[in-house]
A and B are shown apart, each in its own frame.
Chain A
Amino acid sequence: MMRVTHELHERRKSRNVGLGLTLAGFVVVILALTMVKVTRGDPMQAFDHVVRPEMEATK
């Protein structure tokens, strides 16, 4: 009969939980960066949110 839990499952669980938390953290970082950049009012374009002072002159 197959055992319900195995050391192998523990290892896989550690990988899955670790990866899940890492991805969730990544999403939070992107969200926070986006909020900081778009609410500051710097001259930037939507596709990369990099500040472009040269856009100031064309306003």
Chain B
Amino acid sequence: MTDLSINAPREYEPTFGDYFALLKPRVMSLVVFTALVGLLVAPGSLHAVEIFAAILFIALGAGASGALNMWYDADIDAMMRRTAKRPVPSGRVEPGEALAIGLALSGISVVMLGLATNFFAAALLAFTIFFYAVIYSMWLKRSTPHNIVIGGAAGAFPPMIGWAAVTGDVSMASVLMFALIFMWTPPHFWALALFTKSDYGDANVPMLTVTHGRDTTRRHILGYTVAVALVAIGLALTPVGGPVTLVAALVLNALFLKGAVAIWRRDDAAAEADNYLVEKKFFRLSLYYLFLHFAALVADAAVRGVMA
């Protein structure tokens, strides 16, 4: 008997771009930026080639965890408009391929970061990949409405890894850079969840908007915004902060708090009336918020460099 099934042609041959899309390039850009800031503001210095290699392998590690996430979440990604076109749910890449790429890149990125810088930074990267792929994707995302809060930790590690790549340790400044992204993530995503309301419910992902209602979500956005403001001011007062960071923290957090209070004070009827204008504005501001905070840290480091 002859079985030719293993030679059966695939309906779709993936391109290089399909595989690259597994690495979530847009998320990677945030990782590259925050890790670079961690590297630049840390005391000590690396050769430009080492900085490039460190950033490359931190980004690759983040991409690997993205591929593992897409492998595991293909079932729920297929149900949401925002994610249905990803390579695995759309059928362009086989789930097994996404898993293999994720595992291979995880190993390569961790070992190479260790060789390029130090193994403490590599261990932090390994933990980040484990945290995002196993703790967040496989466990918390589907089981608790605090999924975003805890999952945010995975996105918060890159500046800490960048810092560790230079110094080989953890400090108050690097913990506060972590805390800034960690506390920023919930208001950022919950604002998005408020105006893309039906998607997470369709996929049975326990978003706070679905499990505890939208008014509770609005209160939580305000709570975390107050917390992130305190962290931002604290970061400005550490040795990596300075006048630029302090001014940026005061201005950005005043704007962020103003937006959070506006979200908290209104209900869904008011939001429906203007097509979630306030929530969308807050979400947009949250993108600038993080970028400008980290840019301010680099500006202060440059000022210190010039003064020295």
A residues sitting closer than 8 Å to B (CB atoms) are 8, 11-12, 14-15, 17-19, 29, 32-33, 35-36, 40, 48-51
Contacts and interface: CB of A to CB of B under 8 A. Distances in A.
A48 B13 contact: no
Contacts of A49: 115
Contact count band on B: 10 to 19
Interface in B46-75: 47, 49-50, 52-53, 56
B115 A11 contact: no
Contact of A11 (B13, B47, B50, B118): B13
B15 A36 contact: no
Given A36-B47, A36-B50, A48-B115, A29 B56 contact: yes
Overall SS of chain B's interface:
helix
B116 interface: yes
Nearest to B12: A11
Contact of B15 (A11, A33, A48): A11
Contacts of A29: 52-53, 56
The winner among A11, A49, A51 for most chain B CB atoms within 10 A is A11
A33 B118 CA distance: 13
Given A29-B56, A36-B50, A50 B15 contact: no
B115 A33 contact: yes
27 contacts: A11-B13, A11-B15, A12-B13, A14-B15, A14-B16, A14-B17, A15-B13, A15-B15, A15-B16, A15-B19, A18-B16, A18-B17, A19-B16, A29-B52, A29-B53, A29-B56, A32-B49, A33-B49, A33-B50, A36-B47, A36-B49, A36-B50, A48-B114, A49-B115, A50-B115, A50-B118, A51-B118
A40 B53 CA distance: 17
A15 B10 CA distance: 15
